[in-house]
Each structure stands twice: as C-alpha cells, then as structure tokens.
C-alpha cells in the first residue's frame, strides 16, 4: 500500500521521481524518501509527512544523479518516523531498496541476519530485505550477474508480498525490480526507463509499459531491459501503449481529485456503457463473457468477492441480478472468502470487483475460486492488472484514472456494469425483449440523469453546511438503496471522520432508533411505490423523536408535511438505475461536509487507495 518509483535515464532523476511520487501519493502519504546513486555511494533523503516535504529537502540538496529510487509510505511495520521511512540502505551501504508489501517471515530472517552481526536501524520488514540482498551479494562475490542472483536468492527466502525497486552501489547503470502480490510496471521512454507501482507515475514521459507478473524480475540497464523468472530464465516482455494522458492524472481546474472525479461521472458512465449494447437494443454485450455463454446459461449461483466500496457495488448487483436473471447471488467479503470452507460445488460463477485490479484480498479470493475449479470474471478499471490477467474473463470499467482515495466514479461504473451483467444474464433466461429494451434505454439515459443532479451541487453544499456540525449520522434505504446507504455512510466517515452508519430503513426500530436525538441527522433514500411509503413512515418515526431528517426523493413522490426537514429531489428513473442516481447526492454531500471542515478529501488519514496487503 505504498507508492514506489525508480528512474534510470539521461535526465536528472529527482525531477522524475518527485513527479511520480506526487502522482502516487494516493497510495500512501505517511512519509516519503529517495535514494540516488552518486558514483561511489548513495545519497539519501527521507522526510515524514507529505511528498512536498521531501521535494523541499531535495530542492536544497539538488542531487544531479540520473539513477534513483523513491517511495511514499503507508505504514505497516513500524511507526511514522524518519528511520522507518524508505528507501532502506543495507548495513554495508551496498544496497538501497524501496518496498511495497509485507514480508511475513521478516522476524525469523531478521534473527538470522542479527546472528551474523548485521545491525538494524528501523522497525520495518523492508530493511530486513535490503540486508538479506546485501548478505547474498557479499556471499556471491565474483559470480556472474552477482546483483541479480543475490536478489533472486534473497527473494526465495521471503514469504509474503512485495513490489520492489533495488539499487546496488557497485552497479551504477543498473536498476532491478521484482513483484509478487504487489503491482509493478516498467515504463519505456526515449532514453529513460521507469519502475513504478502504477503507470500513472510516468504518464507523459513514456510510450509503452510492461506489467510484471508475479514471480518476475525486471533488469533495467542503460542499453535496454530484460524480464526474467525467479529461476533466472528469460520471460516474455509484452509491452502495451500507455492509454492515459497527463490530463487524466492532473487535477485541472478542480479543487481536489475527488471533486473532479465526481463531476467526471457523466462521461465516465458514457465510456463504461459505450458499445456494450446488442444490435437489437435489448441486451448487453460484455467482452469478458464471450466464449462462456453455455456456462452462464447453466449457472445456478453467483458469488461476488470484493472489499470496501467495491463490495457495496456488488451488494447493489445482488439485487439487480436476482431481479433480472433470477439467479441466486451472494456477496462475500473477499478477505473472508478464502478462509471459509463454504460449499462451492455446482455451476457457480465468481465475480471479483476491484477498481485497481490489485487488491490483494480480492486476488486471493480469485485464486481460491480457481483452485476449486470455478469460473471467474473480473470487473476492474486497471488495464493490465493482476485481476484482469488471473480471471477467466475481464470487464474493464473504462472510467480513466481515479486518484481520490474515496472512490466515486469507479463505484457508479461498477454498479452500471452489474446492471448490464444482470441484463445480459436475464436475456439468456426469462427477460423479455421489451423488458430488455426498457433497461437498455434507462442505462443509456443515465449520464444525462447524473449530469442533472451535478448541476444542483450548490444545493447539496448548503445542506452539507447545515448538518456539518453533526458527529453521528444515520443513512437508511430499502432493497437496492440499502447498499447505497452503506456507501453514503462510508464516504462520509472516510473523508470527514464523522461517525456514520448505514442500515436498511426497516431495521431502524430494531435498535438504531435508540441513537435518534436532535444532534443525530438521518439521511433517508426514498423510492417510489409501496416501499417508498414504508420508508416515509420510518422518517416520521425519527421526526417523532426530534431527529433531523434529510430525504433524497424521486420527482413525483409526495413527502407529507413534517416528515422531513429537507428534501432533495432526484430524477424519477427505472429501478435498475435508481441506485446510481441516489448515490450522486450522497457523494456531493460527503464532499462538501468534509471541505466545510477544512479536511483533505483526497488523502484522508490512515487510508490508501490500493490495498495490496492483507
């Protein structure tokens, strides 16, 4: 859950490294550091806090090296201190390393190295790896490809996950990288080569990227690069053009990436939906399903695996797919899936959802499903990601880079794809062409519906200001609006640190109603029809106990006088797209709520964007 960047080229390394770290700061921002090869030794700069602190230090020292590695940290082992900040140098000064991941057996390895007289200066697992590489490097003195061989020997002793970039003081034109469980990508430019956790680190500077697979090592030299396996054999290096632009990873005229990404949703949804409807307009076409039609028709069970916001999108998908396709659906916490011995027999489809495609818990769930012989489909925004490679079929979200830690456009895209999946499966079964056409048209109108809500953002800012002193809030909805309530609560607590909980509205009287008081606002998501009337009755129960109520209500649904303090209207839409339409006001409410409190919405405390550790 850290960001790493390595640079080898014909320009001053510090500029490329700092630019890359700024773009990767969403992956961790406890501390940042850089190491440069200065001919006979490494120069090291490390600072706690944001990347800008490191940038200020480097402006003063102004290193001119053309080879370096850098890191922005999300702490796992050890407190946020300079000594725990990466890069880590080996005890003898021979090796410099940055690491994303967790070395699970670092304790026994550390004791072995301490027994050989090696001293440590940090609490991290990563310093153990730098010293282990240095130990093997010294042991292999005189051997061919001594540096690369030492890295392979060290990694063979490690258990856990890693994405690393490594320098050796004796190899001034050599940069090594390796991955297992944590992402690593090589960027190929004109006269310069990068290693990074994410391609966004070098967008605008390179033409192509090579995404490393687990167990691969990248050997970067001034005259080219090789990819090898842990056994030292050559591996195929498949390069892909970089499809991002500088504009994708820059903030532009917005005050934050979160605000930018909220307002990008009409275009993001258009891109998600584009070209994915059948010629007759009654079904959806998802490339990741092609070739599996017979298996999908025989399905008797679907299991979603995901974490956090992605899991909330799957919970919406559960309602949509069961409604449209009449297939039983379960939603599992990916972190729990592989540790349960639940029945997995029959014609089961496992759908894994992860914006980055690198969420370790989700990947491990996929690996467990494949071990059991189950069909797996991935929904991800990460082109070339591990999830895209390791599933039987993949569906790309196509929403562009999402930098803000609190997911917005990725969530609505995931829900849209779940609706399209439900449409495709439904048409394979009982859903009529007329019903299919209605759903397809509702999805195609979705970007316009979202845009109409965004145009009224000022109203939501005023509502957020009205409730901004609240420290406890409840979010409530029925059926497919229940997971939207969960997502609204999550967004608020992620970026404002207020305590918020989501519940099914009918569960209010089974416990949560005890929390109601004049200082605890309740945000209700109201739908049309009978269930909407029941939700309004729940609102009246809150008002009877002096609880403030903000209701998100479709146009045309009557709200009795006194049932709500404030009502925000959303377009009346088909029930399949209703969860997305209801989500937009909650995103803007949370955004303004946090900004009114003068908080950094892009880098909320203790969080990181891509969770690549267990």
User: How far apart (Å, rounded) are the C-alpha atoms in residues 446 and 431?
Assistant: 21
The CA-CA-CA angle for residues 316, 507, 480, to 5°, reads 15
Q: Which of the following is catalytic: 110, 491, 543, 609?
A: 609
pLDDT band per the 50, 70, 90 thresholds, residue 614? low
**In the predicted structure, residue 245 carries a pLDDT above the cut 80:** no
Model confidence at 303: pLDDT above 70? yes
pLDDT at 1 over 80: no
Distance between CA atoms of 340 and 418, rounded to whole angstroms? 25
pLDDT at 383: 81
The whole-angstrom separation of Cα 518 and Cα 515 is 10
What is the reported pLDDT for 66? 94
Catalytic residue, from 2, 314, 418, 520: name it. 2
- C-alpha 120/C-alpha 106 separation (Å) is 12
Give the predicted TM-score (pTM) of the model. 0.85
Fold of 3-248: 3.60.20
Cβ-based neighbours of 177, under 8 Å, separated by 6 or more: 6, 163, 164, 165, 166, 184, 186, 195, 212, 217, 218, 220
What is the 8-class DSSP label of residue 381?
A: S
Q: Using an 8 Å Cβ cutoff, are 601 and 406 in contact?
A: yes
Q: Decide whether 3-248 matches 455-602 in CATH topology.
A: no
Q: How confident is the model over 290-300, as a mean pLDDT? A: 86
* Closest listed residue to residue 378, CA positions, set 368, 389, 369: 389
Greatest Cα-to-Cα distance within the chain, rounded to the nearest angstrom: 85
Whether the pLDDT of residue 613 is over 60: the answer is no
Buried b / exposed e over 117-151, threshold 16 CB at 10 Å, is: ebebebebbbbbbbbbbbbbbeebeeeeebbbbbb
Distance, CA of 322 to CA of 327 (rounded, Å): 5
* Nearby residues of 438 by Cβ (< 8 Å), 6 or more positions away: 574
Position 255 pLDDT exceeds 70? yes
**Which of the pair, 360 or 449, is modelled with greater confidence?**
449
Phi, psi of 158 (to 5 degrees): -95, 140
Inter-residue contact 599 to 468 (CB < 8 Å): no
Told to judge if 158 belongs to the known catalytic residues of this protein, a careful annotator would answer no
Q: How far apart are CA 127 and CA 86, in angstroms?
A: 9
pLDDT at residue 610, as a whole number: 63
Residue 344 reports pLDDT greater than 70 = no
Q: State the chain's mean pLDDT as an integer.
A: 92
- The mean per-residue pLDDT over the stretch 212-221 comes to 94
Buried b (16+ CB within 10 A) or exposed e, 53-92: ebbeebeeeebebbbbbbbbbbbbebeeeeebbbbbbbbe
pLDDT at 261: 96
The rounded percent of the chain whose pLDDT value lies above 90 is 74
pLDDT confidence of residue 2 = 84
Average pLDDT over residues 568-588: 97
What is the pLDDT, as a whole number, of residue 343? 66
d(CA 425, CA 320): 11
110 pLDDT exceeds 70?
yes
d(CA 476, CA 290): 38
User: Alpha-carbon distance 219 to 204, whole Å?
Assistant: 23
Q: What is the pLDDT of residue 611?
A: 66
Nearest Cα to Cα of residue 572 among 526, 509, 541, 540: 526
pLDDT of residue 101: 87
Concerning whether 418 is annotated as a catalytic residue, the answer is no
Out of 1.10.10.10, 3.40.50.11540, 3.40.50.10490, 3.55.50.30, the CATH code matching 251-444 is 3.40.50.10490
Q: What pLDDT score was predicted for residue 62?
A: 87
What is the arrangement of strands in the sheet containing 88-89, beginning at the earlier edge strand? 88-89, 95-103, 160-168, 174-180, 216-221, 224-229
Q: Determine the angle formed by the axes of helices 51-61 and 13-24, rounding to 10 degrees.
A: 170
Confidence of residue 345 (pLDDT cuts 50, 70, 90): low
446-469: per-residue pLDDT in tens? Answer: 999 999 999 999 999 999 999 999
Which residues, other chains included, contact 101 with Cβ-Cβ below 8 Å and sequence gap of 6+?
160, 161, 162, 163, 164, 180, 181, 182, 612, 613
The owner of tokens 């999830």 is 387
Say whether domain 455-602 belongs to CATH 3.20.20.70: no
> Domain segments of the chain: what residues?
3-248, 251-444, 455-602
| Calpha distance 306→329 (Å, rounded) | 14
pLDDT for the residue 242: 82
8-50 pLDDT, tens digit each: 999 999 999 999 999 888 777 889 999 999 988 999 999 999 8
């Amino acid at each position: 859950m850290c960001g790493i960047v390595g640079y080898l080229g014909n320009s001053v390394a510090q500029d490329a490294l700092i630019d890359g770290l700024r773009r990767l700061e969403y992956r961790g921002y406890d501390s940042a550091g850089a190491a440069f090869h200065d001919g006979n030794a490494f120069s090291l700069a490390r600072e706690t806090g944001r990347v800008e602190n490191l940038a200020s230090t480097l402006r003063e020292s102004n290193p001119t090296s053309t080879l370096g590695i850098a890191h922005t940290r999300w702490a796992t082992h050890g407190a946020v201190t300079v000594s725990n900040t990466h890069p880590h140098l080996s005890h003898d000064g021979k090796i410099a390393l940055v690491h994303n991941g967790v070395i699970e057996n670092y304790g026994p390895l550390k004791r072995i190295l301490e027994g050989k007289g090696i001293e440590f200066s940090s609490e991290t697992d990563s310093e153990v790896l730098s010293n282990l590489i240095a130990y093997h490097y010294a042991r292999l003195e005189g051997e061919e490809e001594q540096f690369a061989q030492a890295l392979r020997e060290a990694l063979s002793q490690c258990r856990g996950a890693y994405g690393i970039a490594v320098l050796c003081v004796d190899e001034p034109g050599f940069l090594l990288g390796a991955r297992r469980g944590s992402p690593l990508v090589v960027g190929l430019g004109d006269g310069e080569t990068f290693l990074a956790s994410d391609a966004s680190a070098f967008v605008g500077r390179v033409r192509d990227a090579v995404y490393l697979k687990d167990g691969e090592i990248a050997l970067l030299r001034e005259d080219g690069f090789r990819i090898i396996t842990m056994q030292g054999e050559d591996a195929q290096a498949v390069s892909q053009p970089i499809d991002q632009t500088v504009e994708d990873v820059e903030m532009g005229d917005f005050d934050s990436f979160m605000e930018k990404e909220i307002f990008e949703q009409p275009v993001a949804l258009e891109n998600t939906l584009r070209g994915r409807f059948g010629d007759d307009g009654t079904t959806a076409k998802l490339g990741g399903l092609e070739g599996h039609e017979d298996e999908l028709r025989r399905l008797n069970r679907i299991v979603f695996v995901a974490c956090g916001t992605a899991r909330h999108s799957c919970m919406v998908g559960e309602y949509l797919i069961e409604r449209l396709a009449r297939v039983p659906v379960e939603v599992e916490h990916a972190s729990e899936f592989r540790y349960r011995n639940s029945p997995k027999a029959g014609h089961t489809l496992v759908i894994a959802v992860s914006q980055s495609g690198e969420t370790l818990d989700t990947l491990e769930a996929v690996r467990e499903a494949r071990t059991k012989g189950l069909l797996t489909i991935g929904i991800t925004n990460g082109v070339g990601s591990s999830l895209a490679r390791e599933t039987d079929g993949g569906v790309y979200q196509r929403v562009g880079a999402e930098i803000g830690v609190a997911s917005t456009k990725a969530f609505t895209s995931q829900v849209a794809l779940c609706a399209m999946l439900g449409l495709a499966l439904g048409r394979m079964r009982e859903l009529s062409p007329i019903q299919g056409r209605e759903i397809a048209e509702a999805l195609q109108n979705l970007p316009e519906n979202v845009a109409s809500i965004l145009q009224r953002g000022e109203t939501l800012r005023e509502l957020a200001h009205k409730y901004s002193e609240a420290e406890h809030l409840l979010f409530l909805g029925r059926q497919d609006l229940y997971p939207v309530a969960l997502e609204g609560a999550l967004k608020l607590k992620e970026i404002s640190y207020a305590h918020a909980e989501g519940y099914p509205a009918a569960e209010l009287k089974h416990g949560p109603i005890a929390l109601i008081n004049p200082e605890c606002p309740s945000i209700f998501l109201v739908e049309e029809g009978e269930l909407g009337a029941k939700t309004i009755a729940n609102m009246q129960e809150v008002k009877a106990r002096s609880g403030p109520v903000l209701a998100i209500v479709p146009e045309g649904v009557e709200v009795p006088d006194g049932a709500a303090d404030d009502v925000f209207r959303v377009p009346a839409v088909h029930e399949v797209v209703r969860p997305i339409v209801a989500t937009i006001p909650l995103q803007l409410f949370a955004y303004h709520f946090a900004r009114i409190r003068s908080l950094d919405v892009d880098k909320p405390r203790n969080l990181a964007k891509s969770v690549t550790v267990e």
